């Protein structure tokens, strides 16, 4: 018995050892298989996109939910006809080939396929993306193993972003996991509907600890903490070379200051110093008319006399050029420069649908949300302006710019800012105050997270209550789609007098509004001076929405027709800042009021035409008291995200108390770029800012 028992024990031990060896072999084999793509087995060609996702997930051991989400975020389930994104990324998985990264050729070599297949064939593009994601995950793993849980792929997703900076890579991963949490449904190129149910998941952000971003940065830029906006790339202009308060010449690009407390300008070389209050009231959105590097080249040249505080690249990278406390020269109206933060974006205004994309919008929205919180500004078009809605300082100035143009999606952009925890301000209780929120403005309609020409969002004005009555006069030819003199753009508020259905059968509703018409642009003696007239705005079906602000009715002062100004500044020179007029009784919408710098005069901001204007309180009768309590208003969420915790943002109260009109008390003239004066002049005359770009297609695109 003892002998048999010993043999039995020996046999069982052998069985145990063999079983353990078999299990260990299977573990090793599984690890090896995870590192060797199954593509070597030449899997069958999928018949549809759903099958492609499932097959690529099995082939490369990548979660199918992750592949679907990347394809939706980057390309809306489309190959985009093989056309590249602005970053030279292809297909719904955005396989790139640019100066920083080349995942396109890597995928082609690994899959042993032609590059053109990856560009044009969505199932092959999905395989390529899965292969790259697989490789990224292995590269990040100290043990060279793939993540087990979906939550553990966060670091690999950040690496997959091909971002220039760590902060942008993490932003990308956050966006992916937000989409995973919300789910989505989208149509692929073959018409198949791809659906992802919401995933209950908390990403393991520690898996991105090794993410650094690209090592190559533009000249003059560095990764450090010497920035205002966390995560921005430091491209700060050196004060000794570029600060107009320091340099002895007019070759300079910004004015050093202490905003939002004061603006202090030292007129070198005579050291005439002017200090005045300088609150930050606005954020101005621009496009570069080119790439981020081209903008950096301009801003890093003191002869350009131009700058902006931030640049947002198409891949989401944010560069800071000028400190927020300083005055950058970005929008052609020096009062606005003194009171605003300028943000440039990669792209062109006339073809924005080929440039603006979801990543760029999201990065900009996060920056804008940070600025709104920091400077206590509400989320509205009175405080977030387009360069194209900033007026010229006077009617004799060059027309201001038109960027970011008709393809910048304001409602989509505001929705992204709102998702960062910024509350929408209260809409007006006046039923006649409205704004446009068309379906074309709510999300990019194109591929690779970009837009199409269908995202055009300028809406035109007509002489009468019918689209057959002809459009109002404009500055440029009818072929210039960026002209802003006969149209409006979304989310700006207007007051309508009456409305009718378009008798011409378009389905539009014609809204009668007051609008500053530049009717002298083609006169014998051309002028940019505008005359407010009651004209008719064609509003697409369902596009009108309650507006924001307070109605103000203009009246005469001492028998003088109400004047509209390009900046809220009183001058000893008559009509120096006047850009137009309006008849007594004309009604506009004001977003807020300001007290004039260095004086006690109250001014009201109004949407005068496509651009902002200013009127002194002496010309204004408030139609109603403003509602000081902001409440969130519904808005379509263009990107499915978790519901943010709303932060109440006060709406500036428009004072209704009697306030004396502007006086003739002398105030310093507007300071434009670097200025100099003679020894006998107490207050120097300004010198004009130079343009940002030497070659411009349209006269309205001159940059300052």
How would you classify residue 561: left for phi > 0, otherwise alpha for psi between -120 and 50, otherwise beta? beta
The greatest distance separating any two alpha carbons of the chain, rounded to the nearest whole angstrom, comes to: 126
What is residue 285's predicted lDDT score, i.e. its pLDDT?
98
Kindly list the distances between the CA atom of residue 524 and the CA atoms of 120, 519, 527, in Å, as whole numbers in the listed order: 55, 12, 9
Q: Which residue, 263, 281, 283, is CA-closest to 273?
A: 263
Give the whole-angstrom CA distance, residue 113 versus residue 100: 23
Within 10 angstroms of residue 258's Cβ, the number of other Cβ atoms is 12
Q: 493 phi and psi, to 5 degrees?
A: -100, 140
Helix (H, G, I), strand (E, B), or coil: what is residue 33?
A: helix
Query: Which pLDDT tens digit goes with each residue over 117-139?
Result: 999 999 999 999 999 999 999 99
Element (H, E) at 120: helix 115-120
Give the confidence band of 650 by pLDDT, cuts at 50, 70, 90: very low
What is residue 20's predicted lDDT score, i.e. its pLDDT?
54
Beta bridge partners of residue 436, listed in sequence order: 544
Give the whole-angstrom CA distance, residue 309 versus residue 236: 9
Give the confidence band of 509 by pLDDT, cuts at 50, 70, 90: very high
DSSP code for 610: S
Query: Which pLDDT tens digit goes with each residue over 127-186?
Result: 999 999 999 999 999 999 999 999 999 999 999 988 877 888 888 899 899 889 999 988
- Residues with Cβ < 8 Å from 155, sequence gap 6 or more? 137, 140, 173, 204, 207, 208, 209, 210, 211
Give the whole-angstrom CA distance, residue 196 versus residue 48: 16
Within 10 angstroms of residue 701's Cβ, the number of other Cβ atoms is 24
> Could you tell me where the beta strands, DSSP code E, fall in 359-416?
384-386
pTM of this structure: 0.72
What is residue 314's predicted lDDT score, i.e. its pLDDT?
86
Whether the Cβ atoms of residue 458 and residue 440 lie closer than 8 Å to each other: no
Task: Give the residue carrying structure tokens 């985009």.
Answer: 80
For residues 492 and 703, the model is more confident at 492
Q: Which of 46-50, 212-216, 571-575 has the lowest mean pLDDT?
A: 212-216
Q: What is the 3-state secondary structure (H, E, C) of 67-101?
A: HHHHHHHHHCCCCHHHCCCCCCEECCCCEEECCCC
Give the whole-angstrom CA distance, residue 319 versus residue 47: 44
Q: Is the dihedral of CA 164, 170, 176, 179 positive or negative?
A: negative
Mean pLDDT for the stretch of residues 676-692: 31
Give the whole-angstrom CA distance, residue 66 versus residue 505: 47
Kindly list the distances between the CA atom of residue 53 and the CA atoms of 40, 45, 65, 67, 687, in Å, as whole numbers in the listed order: 18, 12, 9, 7, 61
Task: Give the residue carrying structure tokens 């919180």.
Answer: 373
Whether the Cβ atoms of residue 489 and residue 612 lie closer than 8 Å to each other: no
Paired sense of beta strands 384-386 and 282-285, if any: parallel
Mean pLDDT for the stretch of residues 435-454: 85
Query: Which pLDDT tens digit goes with each residue over 190-222?
Result: 899 999 999 999 999 999 999 987 667 888 999
Query: Which pLDDT tens digit goes with each residue over 15-29?
Result: 555 555 555 555 455
Contacts 24+ apart (CB under 8 A), 660-663: 660/600, 660/601, 660/617, 660/618, 661/557, 661/601, 661/616, 661/617, 661/618, 661/619, 662/570, 662/596, 662/599, 662/601, 662/616, 662/618, 663/570, 663/599, 663/601
Give the whole-angstrom CA distance, residue 688 versus residue 43: 66
Rg (CA), the chain: 29
What is residue 482's predicted lDDT score, i.e. its pLDDT?
94
- Residues with Cβ < 8 Å from 283, sequence gap 6 or more? 340, 341, 343, 368, 371, 372, 377, 383, 384, 385
Give the confidence band of 611 by pLDDT, cuts at 50, 70, 90: very high
- Residues with Cβ < 8 Å from 576, sequence gap 6 or more? 394
For residues 32 and 475, the model is more confident at 475
Give the whole-angstrom CA distance, residue 217 versus residue 521: 45
**DSSP string for residues in 279-340:** ---EEEE---SB-HHHHHHHHT-GGG----SEEE-TTS-EEE-S-TTSEE--SS-HHHHHTE
Give the whole-angstrom CA distance, residue 591 versus residue 488: 16
Element (H, E) at 264: strand 262-267
Query: Which pLDDT tens digit goes with each residue over 271-322?
Result: 666 778 889 999 999 999 888 888 998 999 999 999 999 999 988 999 999 9
Give the whole-angstrom CA distance, residue 168 versus residue 180: 19
Q: Which residue, 688, 699, 675, is CA-closest to 249?
A: 675
Q: 11 phi and psi, to 5 degrees?
A: -60, -45
Q: Which two tokens stand for residue 411?
A: 């409602």
- Residues with Cβ < 8 Å from 363, sequence gap 6 or more? 168, 171, 312, 313, 316, 317, 318
What is residue 400's predicted lDDT score, i.e. its pLDDT?
87
């Amino acid at each position: 018995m003892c002998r048999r028992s010993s043999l039995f024990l020996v046999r069982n031990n052998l069985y145990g050892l063999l079983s353990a060896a078999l299990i260990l072999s299977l573990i090793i084999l599984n690890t090896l298989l995870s590192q060797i793509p199954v593509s070597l087995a030449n899997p069958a060609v999928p018949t549809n996109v759903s099958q492609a996702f499932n097959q690529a997930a099995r082939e490369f051991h990548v979660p199918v939910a992750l592949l679907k989400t990347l394809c939706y975020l980057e390309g809306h389930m489309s190959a985009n006809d093989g056309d590249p994104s602005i970053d030279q990324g292809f297909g719904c998985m955005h396989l790139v080939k640019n100066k920083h990264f080349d995942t396109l050729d890597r995928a082609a070599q690994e899959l042993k396929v032609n590059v053109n297949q990856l560009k044009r064939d969505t199932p092959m593009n999905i395989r390529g993306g899965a292969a790259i994601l697989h490789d990224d995950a292995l590269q990040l793993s100290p043990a060279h193993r793939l993540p087990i849980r979906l939550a553990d792929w966060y670091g690999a997703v950040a690496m997959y972003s091909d971002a220039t900076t760590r902060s942008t890579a993490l932003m990308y991963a956050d966006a992916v996991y937000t989409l995973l949490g919300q789910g989505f449904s989208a149509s692929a190129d073959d018409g198949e509907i791809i659906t992802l149910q919401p995933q209950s998941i908390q990403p393991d952000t520690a898996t991105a600890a090794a993410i650094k971003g690209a090592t190559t940065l533009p000249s003059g830029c560095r990764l450090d903490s010497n920035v205002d906006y966390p995560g921005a790339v430091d491209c700060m202009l050196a004060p000794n070379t570029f600060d107009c308060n320091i340099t002895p010449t007019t070759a300079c690009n910004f004015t050093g200051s202490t905003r939002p407390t004061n603006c202090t300008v030292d007129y070198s070389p005579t050291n005439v110093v002017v200090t005045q209050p300088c609150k930050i009231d606005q954020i101005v959105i621009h496009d570069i008319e080119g790439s981020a590097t081209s903008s950096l080249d301009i801003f890093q040249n003191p002869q350009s006399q131009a700058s902006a505080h931030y640049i947002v690249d198409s891949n989401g990278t944010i560069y800071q050029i000028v400190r927020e406390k300083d005055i950058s020269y970005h929008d052609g109206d020096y009062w606005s420069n003194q009171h605003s933060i300028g943000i440039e974006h990669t792209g062109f205004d006339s073809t924005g649908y080929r440039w603006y994309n979801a990543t760029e919008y999201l990065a900009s929205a996060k920056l804008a949300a940070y600025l709104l919180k920091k400077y206590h500004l509400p989320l509205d078009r009175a405080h977030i302006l387009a360069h194209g809605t900033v007026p010229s300082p006077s009617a004799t100035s060059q027309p201001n710019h038109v960027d970011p143009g008709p393809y910048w999606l304001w409602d989509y952009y505001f929705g992204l800012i709102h998702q960062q925890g910024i509350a929408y301000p209260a809409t007006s209780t006046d039923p006649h105050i409205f704004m446009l929120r068309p379906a074309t403005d709510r999300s990019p309609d194109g591929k690779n997270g970009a837009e199409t020409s269908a995202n055009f969002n300028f809406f035109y004005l007509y002489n009468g209550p019918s689209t057959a009555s002809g459009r109002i006069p404009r500055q440029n030819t009818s072929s210039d789609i960026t002209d802003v003199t006969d149209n409006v753009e979304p989310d700006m508020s207007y007051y309508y007098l009456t409305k009718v259905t378009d008798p011409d059968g378009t389905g539009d509703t014609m809204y009668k509004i007051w609008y500053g018409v530049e009717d002298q642009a083609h006169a014998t003696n051309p002028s940019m001076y505008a005359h407010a007239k009651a004209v008719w705005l064609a509003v697409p079906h369902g596009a009108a929405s309650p507006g924001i602000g307070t109605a103000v009715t203009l009246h005469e002062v001492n028998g003088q027709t109400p004047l509209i100004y390009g900046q809220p500044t009183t001058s000893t020179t008559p009509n120096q800042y006047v850009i137009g007029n309006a008849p007594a009784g004309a009604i506009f919408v004001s977003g807020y009021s300001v007290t004039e710098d260095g004086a006690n005069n109250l001014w009201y901001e109004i949407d005068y035409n496509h651009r902002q204007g200013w009127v002194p309180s002496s010309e204004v009768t408030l139609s109603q008291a403003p509602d000081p309590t902001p409440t969130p208003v519904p808005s379509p969420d263009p990107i499915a995200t978790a519901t943010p915790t709303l932060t109440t943002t006060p709406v500036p109260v428009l004072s209704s108390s009697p306030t004396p009109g502007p006086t003739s008390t002398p105030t310093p003239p507007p300071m434009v770029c670097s200025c100099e004066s003679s020894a006998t002049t107490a207050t120097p005359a300004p010198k004009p800012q130079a343009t940002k770009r030497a070659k411009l297609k349209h006269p309205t695109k001159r940059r300052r």
